[in-house]
């Protein structure tokens, strides 16, 4: 599932490669991924010139002269800049551009392509629920978010309404880098531990962001991400030695999800 490094990379690539292109036509093969009727979506965005792209959490936000075009890849998918002659086999939407290129969009399972009118982005119900981007917070803002929170550190970081962009792939290394057990209660964290957690969010996401995201996702030009399996510290490494102390990494159940951690570096006894 794409998380902040992948989504921010796609937004960066779209900003670089799609800016100034004009949408000349739209084909929709999965109307359920839209938030408005097909005709309204096409009428609204055909003729729109792209001004740039950014992201908020797992949403890619494309700024056009006719309003906002929003993508959420859900469990994963591809956004590919191609031509009609090189269309991928799987596509749920195609945006043709006036220069002869097109953006082919595929969702592996289900995703969204939404439209929001100019000036109405903050009324989009799914975006409005998101907390700030995980890498855009200051340490002071991060402290403020944690005040009065009663949840565990893992469930807090995964709740997109608190902080947007962290999911089940990067959470393990973030908590390992912070030397925190996933089930530590936020109310038990010292100031030093909160600072480490803040730094760990950056240390856990930025290397992948710098490499265009994880190896299992594809970029706008069809290349795989350069953040590889061997770049992961403890996530999905059950039984392998901790890179810090060599204790075997364990996999435990935390609520409905699994956690990978080093039982020595991330003790639970401060619960
Ligand atoms: Zn360890």
Of the candidates 203, 209, 134, the one whose C-alpha atom is nearest the C-alpha of residue 172 is 203
pLDDT digits (tens, 9 = 90+) for 8-49: 999 999 999 999 999 999 999 999 999 999 999 999 999 999
CA distance 54 to 77: 18
Strands 77-83 and 93-97: unpaired
Instruction: Calculate the alpha carbon distances from 70 to 13, 44, 108, 239, 254 in Å.
Output: 15, 13, 17, 41, 32
108-128 exposure pattern, b = at least 16 Cβ within 10 A, e = fewer: eeebbbbbbeeeebeebebbe
How far lies 162's CA from each of 128, 184, 256, 257, in Å? 12, 17, 19, 19
In the reported structure, the alpha carbon of residue 189 is separated from the centroid of ligand 1 by a whole-number distance in angstroms of: 19
- Does residue 225 contact residue 214 with C-beta atoms inside 8 Å? yes
Residue 269 predicted with pLDDT over 80: no
List CB-based neighbours of ion ligand 1 within 5 Å.
242, 244-245, 247, 262, 264-265
Centroid of ligand 1 to alpha carbon of 209 (angstroms) = 25
Read off the pLDDT of residues 49-88 as tens digits, 9 standing for 90 and up.
Answer: 999 999 999 999 999 999 999 999 999 999 999 999 999 9
Cα(234) to centroid(ligand 1), Å: 9
Cα radius of gyration (the chain): 20
Structure confidence at residue 270 (pLDDT): 56
Report how far ligand 1's centroid is from the alpha carbon of 248 (Å): 8
- pLDDT tens digit sequence for 123-146: 999 999 999 999 999 999 999 999
């Amino acid at each position: 599932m794409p998380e902040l490094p992948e989504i921010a990379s796609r937004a960066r690539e779209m900003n670089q490669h799609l800016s100034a292109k004009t949408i000349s036509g739209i084909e929709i093969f999965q109307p359920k991924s839209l938030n408005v009727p097909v005709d309204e979506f096409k009428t609204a965005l055909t003729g729109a010139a792209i001004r740039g792209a950014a992201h908020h959490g797992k949403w890619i936000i494309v700024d056009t002269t006719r309003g906002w075009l929003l993508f959420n890849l859900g469990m994963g998918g591809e956004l590919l800049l191609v031509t009609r002659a090189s269309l991928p086999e799987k596509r749920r939407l195609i945006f043709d551009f006036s220069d002869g290129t097109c953006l082919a969009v595929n969702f592996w399972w289900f995703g969204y392509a939404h439209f929001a009118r100019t000036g109405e982005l903050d009324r989009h119900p799914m975006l409005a629920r998101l907390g700030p981007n995980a890498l855009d917070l200051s340490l002071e803002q991060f402290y403020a978010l944690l005040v009065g929170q009663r949840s565990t550190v893992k469930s807090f970081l995964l709740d997109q309404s608190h902080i947007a962009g962290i999911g089940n792939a990067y959470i393990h290394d973030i908590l390992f880098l912070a030397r925190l057990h996933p089930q530590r209660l936020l109310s038990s964290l010292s100031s030093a531990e909160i600072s480490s957690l803040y730094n760990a969010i950056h240390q856990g996401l930025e290397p992948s962001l710098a490499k265009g995201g994880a190896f299992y996702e594809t970029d706008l030009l069809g290349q795989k991400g350069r953040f590889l399996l061997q770049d992961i510290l403890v996530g999905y490494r059950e039984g392998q030695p901790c890179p810090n102390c060599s204790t075997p990494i364990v996999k435990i159940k935390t609520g409905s999800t699994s956690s990978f951690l080093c039982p020595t570096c991330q003790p639970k006894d401060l619960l």
